[in-house]
Amino acid sequence: MKDHPFKILYLMTDPFGMGGVQSDLKALGPYFVSRGHEVVVACPPGDQVDVLTRGGVTHIPFTVHFRTPGQFAEQARSLRDLIGRVAPTVLAPQSIRASWICHAAAKNMPLARVTTIHNIHSNINALWAGVILNRASHLVIFESDHEHRRITRLGLSDRKTRVIPSGIDTDTFFPDPGARQRMRLEIPGLSPDDVVFGCVARLSEEKAHANLLASYAVVRKTYPKTRLVLVGDGPLRDEIRSLARLLGIEDFVHFAGQRSNVREWLNLFDVFVLASTRESLPRAAREAMACGLPVIATRVGATREAVRDGENGFLVPPGHVDAFARAMIHLLFDPSLISRMGGESRRMIDARFSQSRWLSDNEAVYRVAGSLAGRFSSREIGPKLLDPVVTPCS
pTM over 0.85: yes
For residue 75, give Cα distances in angstroms to 86, 153, 211. 16, 31, 40
Q: What is the pLDDT of residue 285?
A: 97
Query: Taking 50 as the threshold, does the pLDDT of residue 394 lie above it?
Result: no
**How confident is the prediction for the chain on average, in pLDDT?**
93
Decide if 146 contacts 301 (C-beta within 8 A).
yes
Q: How far apart are CA 72 and CA 100, in angstroms?
A: 10
What average pLDDT does this structure show over 300-323?
Answer: 96
Q: What is the pLDDT of residue 329?
A: 98
Decide if 90 contacts 369 (C-beta within 8 A).
yes
Q: What is the pLDDT of residues 100-111, one digit of tens each?
A: 999 999 999 999
Identity at 185, one-letter amino acid code: L
Q: What is the pLDDT of residues 248-264, one digit of tens each?
A: 999 999 999 999 899 99
Q: What is the 3-state secondary structure (H, E, C) of the chain?
A: CCCCCCEEEEECCCCCCCCHHHHHHHHHHHHHHHCCCEEEEEECCCCCHHHHHHCCCEEEECCCCCCCHHHHHHHHHHHHHHHHHHCCCEEEECCHHHHHHHHHHHCCCCCEEEEEECCCCCHHHHHHHHHHHHHHCCEEEECCHHHHHHHHHCCCCHHHEEECCCCECCCCCCCCHHHHHHHCCCCCCCCCCCEEEEEECCCCHHHCHHHHHHHHHHHHHHCCCEEEEEECCCCCHHHHHHHHHHCCCHHHEEEEECCCCHHHHHHHCCEEEECCCCCCCCHHHHHHHHCCCCEEEECCCCHHHCCCECCCEEEECCCCHHHHHHHHHHHHHCCHHHHHHHHHHHHHHHHHCEHHHHHHHHHHHHHHHHHHCCCCCHHHHHHHHCCCCCCCCC
Task: Please tell us whether the domain made up of 7-167+354-385 is placed in CATH 3.40.50.2300.
Answer: no
Q: How far apart are CA 210 and CA 212, in angstroms?
A: 5
Task: Please tell us whether the domain made up of 177-352 is placed in CATH 3.40.50.2000.
Answer: yes
Q: What is the pLDDT of residue 376?
A: 87
Decide if 293 contacts 268 (C-beta within 8 A).
no
What average pLDDT does this structure show over 7-14?
Answer: 95
Task: Examine domains 7-167+354-385 and 177-352 and report if their fold is the same.
Answer: yes
How much of the chain, in percent, has pLDDT values that exceed 70? Answer: 97
Query: Taking 90 as the threshold, does the pLDDT of residue 377 lie above it?
Result: no
Decide if 77 contacts 55 (C-beta within 8 A).
no
Decide if 349 contacts 341 (C-beta within 8 A).
no
Q: What is the pLDDT of residue 393?
A: 43
Q: What is the pLDDT of residue 3?
A: 65
Q: List the one residue out of 47, 45, 41, 42 whose CA is nearest residue 28.
A: 41
Residue extents of the structural domains in the chain? 7-167+354-385, 177-352
For residue 378, give Cα distances in angstroms to 11, 33, 38, 90. 19, 26, 22, 12
Q: How far apart are CA 182 and CA 266, in angstroms?
A: 12
Binned at pLDDT 50, 70 and 90, residue 282 comes out as very high
Binned at pLDDT 50, 70 and 90, residue 86 comes out as very high
Q: Residue 270 CB: number of other CB atoms within 10 A?
A: 20
Q: What is the pLDDT of residue 18?
A: 78
For residue 29, give Cα distances in angstroms to 56, 227, 297, 369. 8, 37, 30, 16
Residues 6+ apart with CB under 8 A from 244: 213, 250, 253
- Give the angle subtended at the CA of 214 by the CAs of 213 and 216, to the nearest 5°: 65
Decide if 268 contacts 229 (C-beta within 8 A).
yes
Q: How far apart are CA 190 and CA 77, in angstroms?
A: 57
Query: Taking 60 as the threshold, does the pLDDT of residue 120 lie above it?
Result: yes
Q: Which position has the higher pLDDT, 86 or 127?
A: 86
Query: Residue 5, exposed/middle/buried by CB under 10 A (0-12, 13-18, 19+)?
Result: middle
Q: How far apart are CA 74 and CA 168, in angstroms?
A: 38
Query: Taking 80 as the threshold, does the pLDDT of residue 271 lie above it?
Result: yes
Strands 90-93 and 38-43: unpaired
Decide if 270 contacts 227 (C-beta within 8 A).
no
